[in-house]
Amino acid sequence: MSIVENKAIVRRFLEGIFRQGNPDVVDELADPDFVVHDPSSEAGQVDAEGVKESIAWSHSAFPDLRVTIEDQVAEGGKVATRWRVSGTHQSEMMGVTATGNQVTFTGTQTDYISGGKIVESWSNWDTLGMMGQIGAAPVPERQTES
């Protein structure tokens, strides 16, 4: 697969997850042994079924999720993506009842693609920032210069 095709696979994957809330995108674009390395997950990694579960709970809490691909860089079978997600907190998440708050958080991920499928993904996103925006974590005050 070409670099352009690999970038398109990752873009379709992210849009399917965040914008469409479509768990079928995992079966379509990810290898059956697909794994996501994510330090925000309890085990530090998530398999394909875990990704499908996260699609369900995230779209339950934020039914209007949107994703913007800020940047993509690819070399060989690896695609690095910087993205921004936004949505409205409309249902319980992490024990926090719906706040109606608009949230925006960013993340990066590097995906390894082989044979037209995403085999492995390394993800890091602003979990604390998102939790702060829904009131599940304290938000530090910004320092201003005098």
**pLDDT tens digits along 79-128:** 999 999 999 999 998 788 999 999 999 999 999 999 999 999 999 999 88
- 57 lies in some domain: yes
Strand partners, 111: 79, 121
143 belongs to a structural domain: no
Could you tell me if residue 139 is inside a domain?
A: no
* CATH number of the domain residue 77 falls in: 3.10.450.50
Residue 38's domain comprises 3-133
41 part of a folded domain: yes
Say whether pLDDT at 140 is over 80: no
Number of domains in the chain: 1
Q: Which pLDDT does position 146 carry in this prediction?
A: 62
pTM for this predicted structure: 0.88
The pLDDT tens digits of the residues spanning 30-72 come to 999 999 998 888 778 889 999 999 889 899 999 999 999 999 9
Q: Is residue 124 part of a domain?
A: yes
**Segments of the chain assigned E as strands:** 30-37, 45-47, 66-75, 78-88, 102-114, 117-125
Residue 49 lies in a domain: yes
Enumerate helices (H) and strands (E) in the chain, giving the number of each. Answer: 4, 6
Question: What local confidence, expressed as pLDDT, does residue 80 receive?
Answer: 98
- Chain-centroid distance, C-alpha 106: 9
Domain assignment of residue 138, yes or no? no
- Dihedral of the alpha carbons of 128, 11, 49, 22, in degrees to the nearest 10: 100
The CA distance from 77 to 141, in Å, is 41
